[in-house]
Structure formats: C-alpha cells, structure tokens
Amino acid sequence: MKKNLLKTKVKKIFRKHGLSHKHSEICTNYLIKAELVDAKSHGLIRLKMYCDRIKKRLINPKPKIKIKKISSSISHINADNSIGFVSADIGIDQAIKNAQKTGIGLVAIKKSGHFGLSSFYAEQAVKKNLIVFCFTNAPPALAPHGAKKSLFGTNPICFGTPTGKVPFILDASTSVINRGKIRRANKLGKRIPYGVALNKAGKITTNAKEALLGTQLPIAEFKGSGLAWMVDILSGVLTGSSHGGKTKDPFDDFTGPQNVGHLFITINPKIFVGNNFIKEIKKNIKRVKKLPKAKGFNSILYPGERKNKTYKMNLNKDISIPEKILKEMSELDAI
C-alpha cells in the first residue's frame, strides 16, 4: 500500500477512536515509521491493540497531560493514561528543551503506555546534537536470574549520540529478541528462532504461542536479567510507575491502565569538550571501521547505520501488509 494512503487510513482509525487530530498524527507517524525501518513487530500489528484499549477506556483518548517543573533541568510528567506515543513525544521534547537550557535534561513520565521503538525518541534528541538515554519498562516476560517465573519486561536500553553523519543509536531489548516479534509470529502463524524462549515446562520452544505463555530468555544470561532489572528501577520505581511485574500486558490484561514509566536523559556534549565532541567521535568511529574485518563481513557498522539505510530504501516503496492485519484495519475503520 502507498505510504500516504496508509497514513490517511491509520489516522482516520485513530480519529474514529477519539484521538485528536494532533495525537492521531503522532501515533500514525510512529507506527508507519516502524514499518519503514522493518521493525514490523512495533508497527501496524499493534494498531488493533491500541484501539481495543482506547475502546475499553484503558487508554485515555483525551488526556490532560501535566508537566511538573522540578528545576530547569528536571521535569516530571503525569501522562494521564495517554497512549504512549503521545506522552513520550511530549517527554522527549521537554528533555531536549531542558538540555538546551542547562546542558542536561532529565524527564520522568508516569501513567503512560507502550510507546513503540525507543530509537524514535532518541533520534529527536540526536538531531538537536544531544546525547540521549531512553528507558521504558514493560509487562512480565523475563524470569530474573535464578527464578523460574517471568517478572521483568523485555525492558529496552536505548542510547544515541550525534556523529556528524548518520546518528549512532543503540536500541536493544534485554531479551534475545523483543516480545513484539513473538507476538507477530503468533498472529501470523510463524515459528520463532530456536533458543530465544522457553515454554511453561522450561524447555526451549519455537512455538510462538508457547513462548508467550512461558518465558523469554535474557541476553547474556544473568547480565541481561540484571539490565532488565536496572531498567525496571529507572523507568518504574524512579518515575512512580508500575514495576516489579505489575505492568499490565497491553494485549492480554484489560483490568486497568498499564501505568508504564519512561525516563529520558539528554546531555549537551559541549559541556565537557566544547566543539571537539564531533571531531573526536568521528575519530573514534573511523578507528573502529578500519579494523580488520571478520570472515563474512565487508564492513563494520555502528548501531543505527543499518536501520537508517533500511529507512531510506523503504521510504518511497509500497508498504506490504499481511492480509490478517488488513482485515483488522478494515474492521477498525468500520466502527
């Protein structure tokens, strides 16, 4: 489907579900961008989930988002159970403004929901020549090291920095693969890779449904579990949001709002090294790229390069949408 036509359709669906013109535009842009960077696990496959939660009033379509100024650098946002795209968009904008004023911005958000890819918010800060960290927690999917029951989310860690060229943006879940990929595989009847999840009996499974009912495996065993715990503290405990396994699953748990927390940290790199930062980071990247290539590699890429290339390649192409998702979109549009 043509990108502009798809954008019109998705925006219309959000408008029908009560979102304002501006909020519909924000949500639509993020969902379509996920498709364009081939992060389909965070794209249109989630549209029905967002709309279902809006219909059940678990996402507030008309939120009264409040920004509390704690200092010139620090802000605390009450998202009023808004859709995550909207609260995070406001949050990263505030973090950018704070860092532009003082050199550093710290923004905590509570009472939010799933906000898509962390890299989308990191990109906004990097475009303003800021270094950025983004944290958000998620529903139980990983078992803490030594436990046999899921408690932590696949809590992603995201870091971005300007380079003078393509932004360096690392956006990685603390699980071997993100949960959205398993959700998508389950919906489309596909298998998942071996070694990324366990079934209820604790055995490795390639069945997506079994994986969703079981537990996902963290990256690097206890290290990944520890990082997931760290993100749970930063985006849950610190922000005043749900944590410790209390974040509700947006697909399966309709007992109340998710109360997801986000934390954005923005830093002006000039505060320590002045205008030398870009010059030095270019040297840093150049040294890495000059290293001898391992077998099977023609180049050494830094985080963000491949995604940027994919986005540019797909920007003017039609977006392929599975029949099952097209059907869901038609049903949502018929409301």
CATH number of the domain that 120 lies in?
3.30.1370.60
pLDDT at 335 over 80: no
The answer to the question of residue 246 being in a domain is yes
Query: Is 293 inside a domain boundary?
Result: no
Whether 6 shows a pLDDT value over 70: the answer reads: yes
Number of domains in the chain: 1
pTM, full prediction: 0.97
Read off the pLDDT of residues 231-247 as tens digits, 9 standing for 90 and up. Answer: 999 999 999 999 999 99
pLDDT for the residue numbered 334? 83
Count CB atoms within 10 A of the CB of residue 30. Answer: 22
Residue 238, in any domain of the structure: yes
- Helix H or strand E segment including 74: strand 74-78
DSSP β-ladder status, 66-69 and 260-267? unpaired
The neighbouring-strand residues paired with 105 are 266
Please check whether residue 58 lies inside any domain of the structure: yes
Q: Quote the longest CA-to-CA distance of the chain.
A: 58
pLDDT of residue 224 exceeding 70, the answer is yes
User: Which structural domain, as residue segments, surrounds residue 225?
Assistant: 3-175+218-272+313-333
What pLDDT was estimated at residue 291? 98
Residue 303 lies in a domain: no
Confidence bin at 133 (pLDDT 50/70/90): very high
Question: Is position 131 within any domain?
Answer: yes
Residue 11 inside a domain? The answer is yes
Question: Which residues contact residue 305 at a Cβ distance below 8 angstroms, ignoring those fewer than 6 apart?
Answer: 166
Interval 305-309 mean pLDDT:
97
Q: What is the pLDDT of residue 148?
A: 87
* CA 55/CA 36 separation, integer angstroms: 27
Of 230, 229, 228, 226, the C-alpha closest to 178 is 228
Return d(Cα 43, Cα 32) in angstroms, integer: 6
Determine the pLDDT at residue 41. 97
Report the percent of the chain where pLDDT is more than 90: 99
